[in-house]
Amino acid sequence: MDVTMKVRELIELCRSEGVPLTQQRIEIYKALISSREHPSPEAIYRILKDNYPTLSLATVYNNLEVLSRLGVARKLNPLSDHVRYDGDMSSHIHFVCLDCKSVEDIEPDDLESFQIPDLPEDGRKLIAKSIQFTGICEKCQNN
């Protein structure tokens, strides 16, 4: 799907969700989907600031958060403000709440379907495999 099409979908989505549509939001989204680099807010800011000199870095942060909650962008590290570790190396799923940053272990009903096969490592050293769901937890939904 090309950029124009995806932008059109974003516009639809904002309207149906009652989220105001701003030029900045669209440009940030376009910059995001045009990049293959999994960019940081800073990186997107750098890309855009030549053409949009008044754009603020805080706006980029805000909008990427909005986009990820709309489901059109993925926050690769929703726990970015707190490093966290897990001593349980067995195969299970983490549900991370975008609001409160809590992490719940999810035990899938059908455990077998969640085995992650090994991949050809291509010179990489593989240490751990994770499945992560992101969303809003039950508690935050009720607030």
Partner DNA sequence: TTACAAAACGATAATATTTATAAAAGAGTT
Partner DNA sequence: AACTCTTTTATAAATATTATCGTTTTGTAA
**Nearest CA to 51 among 68, 72, 28?**
28
Q: Are 139 and 104 in contact (CB under 8 A)?
A: no
Considering only 2-10, 12-20, 106-114, 127-135, which stretch makes contact with DNA by CB under 7 A?
Answer: 12-20
Name the residue nearer to a second copy (CB basis): 53 or 87: 87
Member of 14, 25, 27, 41 binding a second copy (CB under 8 A):
41
Q: Are 48 and 55 in contact (CB under 8 A)?
A: yes
Considering only 67-75, 79-87, 108-116, 132-140, which stretch makes contact with DNA by CB under 7 A?
Answer: 79-87
Residue with the two structure tokens 């949009």: 52
**From the CB of 114, what's the least distance to a second copy, in Å?**
7
Is residue 57 a contact point for DNA (CB under 7 A)? yes
**Tokens at 50, concatenated:** 């030549």
Is residue 54 a contact point for DNA (CB under 7 A)? yes
**Tokens at 25, concatenated:** 């939001």
Site string for a second copy, 50-89 (x = CB under 8 A): -----------x--x--xxx-xxxxxxxxxxxxxxxxxxx
**Tokens at 14, concatenated:** 């904002």
Give whole-number Cα distances, 11 to 17, 19, 39, 48, 135, in Å.
10, 9, 22, 20, 21
Q: Which residues bind a second copy (CB under 8 A)?
A: 29, 32-36, 38-42, 61, 64, 67-69, 71-89, 93-95, 98, 103, 105-106, 108-110, 113-114, 116-117, 119-138, 141
